Amino acid sequence: MAAVEAVDPTPSPTLEDTPVNFPDMTPTPNLMAAVTPIPVSGNGSDLLRFVFPTPAPKPISAWRPPLYEAPWAPTRFDHFFFTRPISADEINWPLPNYRYGAPWPDLPDVIHTGIDIEAPEGAPIYAAAPGKVIWTGYGLQGLQENQNDPYGMAVLIQHDFGYEGRRLQTVYAHMSEISVIYGQWVDTSTQLGLVGNTGFTTGPHLHFEVRLSENGWYTTRNPELWLAPPEGWGVMVGQIMGNDALPIPLHPITVVSLEADQKWNMLTYGGSPSIKADRYYYENFVLSDLPAGKYLVEIPYGDKLIEKEIEIFPGRVSYFSMQGDRKFDINPSPKIPASFWESVLSNGTGDVETNTP
């Protein structure tokens, strides 16, 4: 699989505490009245070509199931509110080796704040849910009209719904063409534009972010906890800590299917103010799009290899917590005080940060 990761945008220290130049979020009545949502069919096919997240295993199936209809929330802790921004007849799942929280290979302090979807140049990009376009064009990182902005040409949507009293936004970056305008209301699957190679990239792809914030600025969350899974498939979520009960950044974790010849080599989230854990799970590891079934999780710790079996259920999150070689809980109650995790895994509730597309 060709590498299509975004190139390190090297966040400028001067941007760290500076709000993004957001446009005015007040709707413009004339503009709104002039805009008619464009109906676009987003799902041309029920079945997808199956591509494995790591190149090592051989495919056992040429197909993927269709997605659960968003919003998908089988429990009150779930929030799979978004459909995929790339249609079902293209690859529409995260590039496996550069997920949310992953470091840029040569710069471990530069952490990815979204997922990359390896779609070809010119593939249509669709809105992941209804909302209003509150940014189009260059400059999303903070420099309006700046063609060197790492996001390139981007669209930002503020959704018609939020979560736990916070605004929900999605970002679509590196586009070659934008087909919506500022202030336009878009429905799920309204076409926003085309996949491109603008901004800091090494090849055409879509960079997609989910932002959850109180004040309209942004804090990101892992999109793999927000995108509806394929039917019959589930999501693995983990909290990987040391014996001191602190999360371990960039710690290796291997997930092996016990039913198919598949293996995923992952890292826990890197430490960065831009990376935020879910307020229920306080995770530092997510692996979505797993067919239901049994998996073996292998995590080195000291001179030991912690090995545990995790079962994935259709449409559900399977959650585990590891505390070094002392404790491994596959049915934990994630009641660790939020303030503790936020201080460790992120910079707390501050809503203004520099992102890494």
Closest approach of Zn ion to the CB of residue 95, in Å: 8
Segment interacting with Zn ion (CB under 5 A) among 32-40, 204-212, 298-306, 315-323: 204-212
Closest approach of Zn ion to the CB of residue 103, in Å: 12
Count CB neighbours of 209 within 10 A. 28
* Half-sphere exposure for 135 (CA within 13 Å, toward CB): 30
Please give the residues from 224 up to 243 whose contact with Zn ion meets the rule CB under 5 A: none
β-pair type (107-111, 103-104): antiparallel
Piece in contact with Zn ion (CB under 5 A), picked from 87-95, 115-123, 298-306, 341-349: 115-123
Please give the DSSP secondary-structure letter assigned to residue 69: P
DSSP β-ladder status, 166-178 and 153-163? antiparallel
Shortest distance, CB of residue 209 to Zn ion, whole angstroms?
Answer: 8
Of 8-16, 116-124, 144-152, 157-165, the segment contacting Zn ion by CB under 5 A is 116-124
Using CB under 5 A as the binding criterion, the count of chain residues that bind Zn ion stands at 4
As measured in angstroms, the least distance from the Cβ of 207 to Zn ion is: 3
Q: Which residues pair with 155 in a beta bridge?
A: 136, 172
Contact call for residue 174 and Zn ion (CB under 5 A): no
* CA–CA dist 6, 209 (Å, integer): 13
Smaller CB separation from Zn ion, 78 or 90: 90
343 Cβ contact list (under 8 Å, min separation 6): none
Residue nearest to Zn ion (CB): 207
Question: For the chain, how many residues are written?
Answer: 357
Question: Closer to Zn ion at the Cβ: 266 or 312?
Answer: 266
| Identity of the residue, 123 or 241, whose beta carbon is nearer to Zn ion in the bound complex | 123
CA atoms of 349 and 352, how far apart (whole Å): 9
Pick the binder of Zn ion from 20, 92, 101, 116 (CB under 5 A): 116
Q: Which of 190, 193, 194, 174 is nearest to 122 (CA)?
A: 194
Q: How far is the CB of 114 from Zn ion (least distance, A)?
A: 5
Can residue 207 be called a binding residue for Zn ion (CB under 5 A)?
A: yes
Q: Which stretch binds Zn ion (CB under 5 A): 47-55, 57-65, 80-88, 200-208?
A: 200-208
Kindly indicate which of the ranges 5-13, 65-73, 189-197, 231-239 contains the residues binding Zn ion, using the contact rule CB under 5 A: 5-13
Q: Of 6, 102, 140, 153, which lies in the binding site for Zn ion, with binding defined by CB under 5 A?
A: 6
CB-based contact 115:99 (threshold 8 Å): yes
CA distance 67 to 315: 9
- 118 lies in the binding site for Zn ion (CB under 5 A): no
Q: Which is nearer to Zn ion, 70 or 206 (CB)?
A: 206
Cβ 113 to Zn ion, closest distance in Å?
8
Helix (H, G, I), strand (E, B) or coil at 239: strand
Q: Which is nearer to Zn ion, 138 or 280 (CB)?
A: 138
Q: Which helix (H) or strand (E) holds 106?
A: none
Q: Which is nearer to Zn ion, 223 or 357 (CB)?
A: 357
Nearest-angstrom CA–CA distance, 136 and 140: 8
Cis peptide before 71 (omega within 30 of 0): yes
| Collapsed DSSP state (helix, strand, coil) of residue 161 | strand
**Measured from the CB of residue 174, what is the shortest distance to Zn ion in angstroms?**
8
| Residues at the contact surface with Zn ion, assessed by CB under 5 A | 6, 116, 207, 357
